Amino acid sequence: MYRIALCDDEQAEIIKTQNMLTGYRNLNPALDFEISTYENAQELLSKVQEGYTPDMILLDIYMEGKTGIEAAKELREMKNQSRVIFLTTSEKHAVEAFRVDAAQYLVKPVSEKELFALLDKQFEILNAEKQKYVILQTNNKTFRITVQDIVYCEAQGKRQYLHLSDGTQICVRLSLTVLEELFSQYEEIIRVGKWYIININHVEGLDSQAVQLDNGMKLYLPRGSYQSLRKQYITYYAGVLL
């Protein structure tokens, strides 16, 4: 079952969007999801802090107290990877939405046609992510690793160390080139210089010197790699936001 969180401080908007979500579910009976509603950002954030993990968050921007952008920033600081969709009355926050890894940005009033098309795409992505994994073997153990859980991989001689989002570290005896080929079908997994493979979904920021990852790790970039990495990063998220 998927979880959808709907956060808006206007009750009429909550009811309207909730009714459209229910209509979408009626058209897709094989798609199982539950809807939880929140009337302010802090209520949603508190629930997430308690362990609630929605797959998708439909989030208004203009709310009393914390704005939707502020809430999304806090969610990312909490390492929450939910797909955030902003529903708002203005286009001017689109760049800010990009900075907090928004999956989509719709301007109110949102029509049923717009929302249904968005949901089709988001559920397609969520279904695909559940099926994205790699099989690795080390020390007579076989690991089935979900791609979205991979933060980065670091080469140390003939060994490669995979660092996962839960803090786990897995060592495999493969060359970085072989590992790169294994991940080649996943556009979010990219090679950076001679020593690293990183998952763009876990990048919090980057500059000409280093990449900041959401597990707190900072990877210093080899000379000449920044422009290429920046281009791949922007291209990837531009595609996600389409």
Alpha helix positions (H), the chain: 11-27, 41-49, 68-77, 94-99, 112-131, 176-182, 226-241
What pLDDT shows up at residue 238? 62
* Distance, C-alpha 94 to centroid of its chain: 17
Classify 74 in phi/psi space as left (phi over 0), alpha (psi -120 to 50) or beta: alpha
Phi, psi of 145 (to 5 degrees): -110, 125
What pLDDT shows up at residue 131? 66
What pLDDT shows up at residue 21? 96
- Residuewise pLDDT in 10s, the chain (242 residues): 889 999 999 999 999 999 999 999 999 998 889 999 999 999 999 999 887 889 999 999 999 899 999 999 999 888 788 999 998 887 777 777 778 888 888 889 999 999 999 999 999 988 877 767 788 877 777 777 888 889 999 998 888 899 998 888 999 888 888 888 888 888 889 998 888 999 988 888 888 899 999 888 999 988 888 888 888 888 876 655 44
| Upstream peptide bond of 222 is cis (omega within 30 degrees of 0) | no
What pLDDT shows up at residue 66? 93
* CB neighbour list of residue 67: distance below 8 Å, 6 or more residues apart: 41, 61
Q: How far apart are CA 87 and CA 110, in angstroms?
A: 8
Q: How far apart are CA 125 and CA 73, in angstroms?
A: 22
What pLDDT shows up at residue 183? 87
- Strand intervals (E) in 123-240: 133-138, 141-146, 150-156, 159-164, 169-172, 189-192, 196-199, 203-206, 210-213, 218-220
Sign of the Cα torsion 95, 100, 102, 105 reads negative
What pLDDT shows up at residue 125? 87
What pLDDT shows up at residue 162? 92
Residue with tokens 């529903």: 87
